[in-house]
Structure 1
Amino acid sequence: MEKKDTIWVKWVECNYLKGQQWVDYTPSPNSIWVWRRICRVKNEIVHGYVDGIWHQQEDFSSTRCYDWLRGQAPKVRWEKVVWTGWSIPKHNFLGWLWAHGALQTKCKLLNYGVLDEDTCLLCGMGSESQEHVFFDCPYSRQVILQVKQASGVDIPATNALEWCMNRHGSSVQKGVQHAMVISAVYGIWQQRNACRHELVIVRPEWLAKRILNDMKARIRERDKSPLSIFDVEWLESKNLM
């Protein structure tokens, strides 16, 4: 291991390596999970060397090594939907989980064996999958309907991600529509969690108002660069300015 004068390396040498070579070291089965995981990554990195030389064209660096380890994944079509600058950052992150299908719904937790039932917390009717909790649940449908009626942004009841990817108009108009969907997903998921942890649920029109207020506040924050007259008119027509 390099940088042998650092406290971390000295601690590892004393507690784990005990004179063994880092390249050849194998952790004990009783080692903590984090340490065993570090050693597993080390074994993967070893394969990146040929005769002691890093096999890539460039010199070794942690960034290049990380890129090599994770490999190349195909670019997703929904990138600009989820990471739009018109969304509140914490909404972006939850939207990213939503697009990946990674939210821990009761349906998923039931499959993991964590729960013994998967009834939707918002309506008490269907199985709480992602598709149900955001677009099939009667409560969520009412929230989306209230948002649509107040803003005129025609958020669909199904395939919202696909709808976002096929929007037309200026970059401002597309970004705001994407952000509206992500804001609605965030608001509904937040309400779902309030049901689970606090046993509290607000009326759909109140949640819709909160979603719209968040969107208007974000637009005011972003409205520092000049907008075209067409975008201003569009935003005003949607009651977002």
Structure 2
Amino acid sequence: MEYTIANGYNWLTEMPSIKVQWYKVVWNKYNVPRCEFIIWLIQHKRLLTLDRLKMRGMDAPEVCFLCGSEPESHIHLFQECCFMKRCMQLLVDWVHIPITKLQNVTSLLKLRGISALSRKIIIAHVVGIHYWVWRCRNLCRMEHFVMQHVQVFQLIKQECYRRFQVSFAGSMSIQDRNWCQMLSIC
């Protein structure tokens, strides 16, 4: 059988696809694109954290640059690090949702009692937090510059606000409008 591009596409579409739950978190229209890329790398555990650098044979310190208390890994940096937890706590205090519901990325899709728009806005902020934790870690490592979590959260809110203003096209329910006005999003 002769190969054609059409045959190649047919072969690709016949391949069984693997469904992952987090794709709706990563590819959310309210996410800032650079944040989407970092969260995608996090989901694939591809960021070069210190534990991964050590596995590659590089001479790197072991301790997390943000908290200085635990060895740096994906799990530590994006779940256990006190810097990450403080940023998430600021989000929880701002949107009034218990932190247990924001523990991991896929649990965001299961938030109940809020509208789809509110869920997407919260997801954009969580994705932004992940991006900024990675960026702050790199600032600490490369430039010895430490940002405060409150300052970081303000930057995330500003980015998400601008993205929402650009991306939102449509009408809003009264509940969504009230929620957005309470948070000063619209």
* TM-score, length basis structure 1: 0.68
Give how far 1:156 is off.
Answer: 4.3
Equivalents in 2 of 1:158, 1:133: separation in Å? 15
Give how far 1:222 is off.
Answer: 2.4
The aligned counterpart of 1:127 is: 71
Structure 1 spans left out of the alignment, 5+ residues: 1-51
1:138 aligns with 2:87: no
User: Of residues 118, 121, 125 in structure 2, which corresponds to 1:176?
Assistant: 121
Higher relative contact order (CA 8 A, sep 6+): 2
Give how far 1:236 is off.
Answer: 2.4
Give how far 1:194 is off.
Answer: 0.8
Matches within 5 A, 1:137-216: 137-156=81-100, 159-168=103-112, 169-216=114-161
The aligned counterpart of 1:48 is: none
Q: Tell me which amino acid in the other structure corresponds to 2:106.
A: E
The aligned counterpart of 1:97 is: 41
Count of aligned pairs: 185
> Do the aligned partners of residues 66 and 185 (structure 1) sit closer, same or farther apart at CA in structure 2, a change above 3 Å counting?
farther
Does the CA contact (< 8 Å) of 2:102 and 2:108 recur in 1? no
User: Of residues 213, 218, 230 in structure 1, which corresponds to 2:163?
Assistant: 218
Does the CA contact (< 8 Å) of 1:95 and 1:186 recur in 2? yes
Give how far 1:96 is off.
Answer: 0.9
> Do the aligned partners of residues 120 and 142 (structure 1) sit closer, same or farther apart at CA in structure 2, a change above 3 Å counting?
same
Equivalents in 2 of 1:91, 1:173: separation in Å? 18
The C-alpha deviation readout for 1:80-102, integer Å capped at 9, x for no partner, is: 11101111111111111112222
> Do the aligned partners of residues 171 and 196 (structure 1) sit closer, same or farther apart at CA in structure 2, a change above 3 Å counting?
same
Matches within 5 A, 1:23-34: none
Q: Tell me which amino acid in the other structure corresponds to 1:79.
A: Y
Equivalents in 2 of 1:127, 1:156: separation in Å? 24
Give how far 1:240 is off.
Answer: 2.8
Identity %: 23
> Do the aligned partners of residues 106 and 157 (structure 1) sit closer, same or farther apart at CA in structure 2, a change above 3 Å counting?
farther
Equivalents in 2 of 1:66, 1:112: separation in Å? 36
> Post-superposition, which runs of at least 4 consecutive aligned residues in structure 1 deviate over 4 A?
153-158
* TM-score, length basis structure 2: 0.86
Equivalents in 2 of 1:172, 1:157: separation in Å? 17
Higher-Rg structure is 1
Tell me which protein shows more helix as a share of its residues. Answer: 2
Give how far 1:149 is off.
Answer: 2.1
Give how far 1:76 is off.
Answer: 0.7
Q: Tell me which amino acid in the other structure corresponds to 1:82.
A: V
Structure 2 spans left out of the alignment, 5+ residues: none
Equivalents in 2 of 1:238, 1:175: separation in Å? 14
